Structure 1
Amino acid sequence: MGILQWFVNLGASVFLPILLFIFALILGIKPGKAFKSALTVGVGFIGLNLVINLLTSSLGPATKSMISNYGLHLSTIDVGWPAASAIAYGTALGAMAIPIGVLTNVVLLFLGLTKTLNVDIWNYWHIALVGSILYTATGNMWLGIVSMIVGAMFTYFFADLAAPTVEKYYGLPGISITQGLSAPGYVFALPLNWLFDRIPGINKIHINPATIQKRMGVFGDTTVLGAVIGLVIGLLAKQPINKALNLAVSMAAVMMLMPRMVSLLMEGLTPVSEGANDMVKKRFPGRQLYIGMDSALAIGQESVLSSALLLVPITLFLAVILPGNRVLPFGDLATIPFFIAMFAAVFKGDIFRTVLAGIIDMVISLYVASWFAPTFTTLAKAASFNMNGNGSITTLSDGGLWLNFIYVFTGEKFQWFAIIVLFLVALGLLIWQNKLRKVPATD
């Protein structure tokens, strides 16, 4: 277990290339090609993290200025996903999440109940958080362990379900999204898309990057649009003009560089993905294999980034006006692209619908994160997390995720009955999806 944790602590940019290199060799890819592909993925992740850090470091001061200037005094601070992942892996159950997630994946693959081979091992922290929170809330360790299995099962179901849409919209063949925050967004957006199609007025509004660029010319270009949104955020934060302009250029850089880093990642992943599917076709005729990856592959898309930047000030505004909300959004404001990555795919890049769905999601997330705060704070203290003088903390991302609310609320109230029901639901969905794949297509 200690060796496994040491391996994970190397960081995604190191352990993922190692994992992919070993996997590529198993698939029969030549060592030289396997090494280059794996190294390219590592370089892509470093580049992507640099861009995400630019986004975070640029939005951070603007967010602090908004909080200070507009007198936002809320009792619970959103510490963000980096803190949440550290807390999740720092608990008694946290270190068990990776072997549990991997074993669940292997069993489901063997039974033919999933097509996703998840190599995004770092993001098992999402199920670690669920299990740890439920263990903290109930005191039942086995309940927490089984809840991690259930969480992994739902993740693979969402990943398989969304994979065709991910391939079509994002141009990611052979890839599925297994990131715990983004994956459930697919089933969240589907009914909203159905609803938007039936609301008079809203069903006539369609705004996408191509439409904006056509109507606005150079100001519709995504890089220019990023600069404009960055400048507006800086002005709303009442920053000095030099800082506002720096924020504008930083947001323009994010809009331009993010897609290029994603394309670099895909360059490295493509040979591995193709090799995996070739092997599956030879040994298991008729079956297809997806490589489960982080939704970082999707957040560089123009509609996702544009919608996310618009949602930053909107989320702060919602935090102030929503009655009963106690959460001050901060750490996860730069994580908003991950919230809405699947939304944009369902809405086919419609920025209006993505923002509208994002607003609905943020309202839910603020209330759920407020509800989670006491348990999350207790969990953080148990993991010896530095509270930095805050009496109450939470995370807007996983701490505000509607699916995690279902796990913990029902698990806390009904314990084994609820978790067994959720297990059977997840199993039933996986079986249904497997049978659906076997039904021949008809004209």
Structure 2
Amino acid sequence: MLANFMNIFMSLGSSVFIPIIIIFLGLILRMKPGKAIISGLTIGIGFIGLSMVTGLMSDALGPAIELMVERYGLSLSIMDLGSGTAGPVAFSTAMGVIVIPIAFVLNILLIYLKVTKTFNVDVWNLWQPALIGIMVWGITQNFVTGVLSMIPAFLIELILADLAKPYMSDFYGFPGMTCTHIMANAGLIFAAPLNWVFDRIPGFNKIDVNPEKIQEKFGVIGDPTLIGFVIGLIIGGLAGYTVPQMLTLGVQMAAVLIIMPKMVSLFMEGLTPIADATKEFTRKYLGGQEVNIGMDAALVVGNSSVMSTSLLMIPITLLIGVLLPGNKVLPFGDLPTIVFALALMVAGFKGNVLRSVIGCSIYTVFMLYGATYLAPALTTAYQLAGYELGSGLISYVSAGLWPNVLMVLATNLLSVPGLLILTAIALMVLFFINRRQNVQAINNEKAFD
């Protein structure tokens, strides 16, 4: 019965079930019912608006990408189905149903024990720990081992969310919130040290290619409208489009760069009252303990640096995929939505588009190798979910995230003991991160006093 209820609930789509969760959360936080309902509905409207814009981007870029693949004779043996298929796959199995109560109970317990500051309300993106569970289930042929693997996977999600909090508040301007999207957060582990290296390269460390600064210096040249238009023309040219088709794609990409931030602003409008209510609730009932609301990367994809980087990375990712020795994944289905895999990396590079493109290109190499390695496990996962795939292997670029590779590799090498070791390490890392952040907060308060 629980499984049927959860399947019906998840089938509503993120634009319905996330607002329901937000409304209930608002009521738990003692918000007025009307205010809680408005917050939830506003977030739902944001999801619908964002879906319309990403749909426009996908519909416009899809044919161009397909023509690029055909035009340059690109052919690799593993088909890229795109990450958009992975969520429905994960939640079409019992594993996807089980992950929700496991994650909720574990999250509440860790907040109570002060091991994490993140409260995840982004139920939809629990498909990522669930997909890891299905892959492990396929590898071991043991359902219980698959369920067990979701625990360290969710702990990694919380670790990344706690680490992402400063970027969400300082760079993106979302105080009291963080991102619990593994796909978006995983790249931070690469971006932070790479940015440190870039800061120490003479000359290069003085270059700041930032849409806002470009617009400030050069006026209309740095306007997101023109940036989107030019990038659209470039992609259209690479696809062999006619001039009218190139112009149309240019206008469509300009529209994406302008409309996307307006849709994202609805999330901020809906979530700000929830964040304020959370602070008041924790002040009264948790001794002022800091709790950050964990949400989807949809909050940040509208940033002009993020969108510019992501659009530039489409042809670059295709080129890397073709030239990379040992890679067998042909980038295709994941390209229109690769923005979600790169969003927090751009914050790690402080919005510098040049650094972001270089850093994301390096990161893409690792993702493609990871996607190639995971293809057998991922193909098995899709088959367990009842998907007919034919005889070939499938994968997608952002399947090669290091958390996915780590979990499958640990299972292949050490089976259940490997998963238990990862769980223990993840708990220790969570404890260390939050202890360090608490010490820093106390020192900051003393310095302020």
TM-aligned CA deviation for residue 141 of structure 1: 2.4
**Which ranges in structure 1 are unaligned for 5 or more consecutive residues?**
none
Question: 3-state SS of the aligned residue for 1:191?
Answer: helix
Q: Is the 8 A contact 1:116 1:291 kept in 2?
A: yes
Give CA-to-partner distance per residue, 1:245-292, whole Å, 9 cap, x none. 111111001000110001011101111111111100111223111111
Structure 2 equivalent of residue 417 of structure 1? 417
TM-aligned CA deviation for residue 390 of structure 1: 6.5
Q: Is the 8 A contact 2:153 2:403 kept in 1?
A: no
Which of 2, 13, 19 aligns to 1:11? It is: 13
Distance 1:177 1:147 in 2: 22
Structure 2 equivalent of residue 276 of structure 1? 278
Between 55-64 and 26-35, the greater mean CA deviation after superposition = 26-35
Which of 57, 60, 63 aligns to 1:61? It is: 63
Question: 3-state SS of the aligned residue for 2:294?
Answer: strand
Counterpart residue identity of residue 415, structure 1: S
Distance 1:23 1:262 in 2: 21
Q: TM-score, normalised by structure 1?
A: 0.96
Structure 2 equivalent of residue 392 of structure 1? 393
Distance 1:79 1:351 in 2: 27
Distance 2:236 2:80 in 1: 21
Question: 3-state SS of the aligned residue for 2:378?
Answer: helix
Give CA-to-partner distance per residue, 1:90-136, whole Å, 9 cap, x none. 33423212222212212211212111111100110000011111111
Which of 210, 235, 238 aligns to 1:236? It is: 238
Q: Is the 8 A contact 2:160 2:182 kept in 1?
A: no
Question: 3-state SS of the aligned residue for 1:415?
Answer: helix
Distance 1:219 1:260 in 2: 21
Alignment of 1:140-289 (within 5 A): 140-289=142-291
Give RMSD over aligned pairs. Answer: 1.5
Counterpart residue identity of residue 197, structure 2: L
Distance 1:370 1:393 in 2: 9
Which of 105, 112, 115 aligns to 1:113? It is: 115
Q: Is the 8 A contact 2:187 2:363 kept in 1?
A: no
Give CA-to-partner distance per residue, 1:148-193, whole Å, 9 cap, x none. 1111111112111221221011010111100120122222211111
TM-aligned CA deviation for residue 201 of structure 1: 4.1
Question: 3-state SS of the aligned residue for 1:360?
Answer: helix
Structure 1 equivalent of residue 438 of structure 2? 438
Question: 3-state SS of the aligned residue for 1:36?
Answer: helix
Q: Is the 8 A contact 1:94 1:128 kept in 2?
A: yes
Alignment of 1:97-112 (within 5 A): 97-112=99-114
Distance 2:144 2:386 in 1: 22
Counterpart residue identity of residue 265, structure 2: S
Question: 3-state SS of the aligned residue for 1:325?
Answer: coil
Structure 1 consecutive aligned stretches of length 4 or more whose deviation exceeds 6 Å: none
Distance 1:213 1:393 in 2: 42
Give CA-to-partner distance per residue, 1:378-421, whole Å, 9 cap, x none. 2212212143x572211211x21122111111211111222122
Distance 1:411 1:63 in 2: 35
Q: Is the 8 A contact 1:84 1:395 kept in 2?
A: no
Between 117-126 and 238-247, the greater mean CA deviation after superposition = 238-247
Question: 3-state SS of the aligned residue for 1:77?
Answer: strand
Counterpart residue identity of residue 431, structure 2: I
**Which ranges in structure 2 are unaligned for 5 or more consecutive residues?**
none
Distance 1:164 1:374 in 2: 37
Q: Is the 8 A contact 1:131 1:144 kept in 2?
A: yes
Distance 1:45 1:89 in 2: 19
Q: Is the 8 A contact 1:304 1:337 kept in 2?
A: yes
Identity %: 44
Question: 3-state SS of the aligned residue for 2:184?
Answer: coil
Question: 3-state SS of the aligned residue for 1:28?
Answer: coil
Distance 2:434 2:69 in 1: 49
Distance 2:258 2:129 in 1: 33
Distance 1:119 1:28 in 2: 17
TM-aligned CA deviation for residue 219 of structure 1: 2.2
Give the number of aligned pairs: 441
Distance 2:174 2:284 in 1: 22
Give CA-to-partner distance per residue, 1:190-232, whole Å, 9 cap, x none. 1111122223443232211123224443121011100100011
Question: 3-state SS of the aligned residue for 1:206?
Answer: coil
Q: Is the 8 A contact 1:114 1:430 kept in 2?
A: yes
Alignment of 1:351-362 (within 5 A): 351-362=353-364
Give CA-to-partner distance per residue, 1:285-341, whole Å, 9 cap, x none. 231111110011011001000000000000001111111111111111122211111
Which of 317, 320, 328 aligns to 1:318? It is: 320
Q: Is the 8 A contact 1:226 1:255 kept in 2?
A: yes
Structure 1 equivalent of residue 141 of structure 2? 139
Distance 1:340 1:29 in 2: 35
Distance 2:221 2:209 in 1: 14
Counterpart residue identity of residue 249, structure 1: V
Distance 1:19 1:267 in 2: 16
Structure 2 equivalent of residue 28 of structure 1? 30
Distance 1:280 1:242 in 2: 57
Distance 2:306 2:160 in 1: 19
Distance 2:91 2:174 in 1: 30
Question: 3-state SS of the aligned residue for 1:306?
Answer: helix
* Structure 2 CA distance for partners of 1:84 and 1:198, relative to 1, 3 Å: same
